[in-house]
Amino acid sequence: MEGKEEDVRIGAILFSERQPIGTAAQIHAKDYKEPAPAPLFEPAELRSWSFYRAGIAEFMATFLFIYVSILTVMGVVKSDSKCSTVGIQGIAWSFGGMIFALVYCTAGISGGHINPAVTFGLLLARKLSVTRAIFYVVMQCLGAICGAGVVKGFQKGVYESNGGGANVVAAGYTKGDGLGAEIVGTFILVYTVFSATDAKRSARDSHVPVLAPLPIGFAVFLVHLATIPITGTGINPARSLGAAIIYNKEHAWNDHWIFWVGPLVGAALAAVYHQVVIRAMPFRSKR
């Protein structure tokens, strides 16, 4: 009995009843270091090999992502019976699984963005410079174009007769429906990226390095399950651009603006929500 009373007493000392809340909790003793905001422009980056290495990593990651995911889509849509293929669930796993693997592989080199919307959201949060953001987006788009091009090269007939993996708003849905689906889907993805890579969480979960890529890949998987029937799921402007350019049919371009506006708006909302509401960055005391 005495042992139990001692446990209770120690617990009361370690975990006092009155815990700090709101901004008071955020200025309490930290066990992590908040990274300084990135400069808007960093000309010195252009003379660094690590800058170009990061861009190459983004290119290769996006190339592999589009190659495997679009190839999976082609395998499903060319079949008369979806029961003989991996189906929508398999397509969702393909996109989510590749993001998980590629973020894990490239996070230490480029941050593992693989998506202009993610890059845009992190830019708004001052996690990288404008110089790096523009370079990343260019390399991501080039990687996506090459990935889709290789898929078309392997099976041109199947590719051209089955939509080429291009994103379009499905019949029965309006452009507003598609735009909303892209905004919400990208919000979920980018919010997950911010949460999984947060300095506070990273410091406490550093002993488990797969924790950041895992929820990011899982978010991509879940969003695809929900929105494949609506837009084919973009949430990644590079993915949508690469498929549209290689497929290059009129209907692939009719709704293409949705797959840029929606993800960029969703990314901006996620950045504001995480930085202003969740982390209360503008309201922190300067110490």
pLDDT in tens, the chain (287 residues): 555 555 445 444 444 444 444 444 454 555 567 777 788 888 888 889 999 999 999 999 999 999 999 999 998 888 776 667 788 999 999 999 999 999 999 999 999 999 999 999 999 999 999 999 999 999 999 999 999 999 999 989 899 988 999 999 999 999 999 999 999 999 999 999 999 988 766 555 555 555 789 999 999 999 999 999 999 999 999 999 999 999 999 989 999 999 999 999 999 999 999 989 887 766 665 54
Q: Which of these, 219, 91, 79, lies nearest to 167 by C-alpha position? A: 91
Amino acid 210: pLDDT:
53
How far apart are alpha carbons 91 and 221 in whole angstroms?
9
Contact in structure between 85 and 75 (CB atoms under 8 Å) = yes
Residue that the structure tokens 């498929």 belong to: 243
How far apart are alpha carbons 248 and 243 in whole angstroms?
8
How far apart are alpha carbons 238 and 244 in whole angstroms?
10
Q: What angle do CA 215, 96, 57 make, to 5 degrees?
A: 90
Q: Which of these, 282, 123, 260, 242, lies nearest to 179 by C-alpha position? A: 260
Amino acid 113: pLDDT:
96
Q: 10 Å Cβ neighbour count for 137? A: 20
How far apart are alpha carbons 2 and 65 in whole angstroms?
60
Amino acid 10: pLDDT:
45
Helical spans, DSSP H, in 110-236? 116-124, 130-154, 156-161, 175-196, 199-204, 213-231
DSSP 8-class letter at 197: T
Amino acid 38: pLDDT:
80
Residue that the structure tokens 């689906």 belong to: 181
Residue 150 C-alpha from the chain's centroid: 23
Amino acid 63: pLDDT:
98
Using CA atoms of 200, 197, 214, 231 in order, give the dihedral in degrees to the nearest 10: 130
The two structure tokens encoding residue 238: 């590079």
Amino acid 279: pLDDT:
78
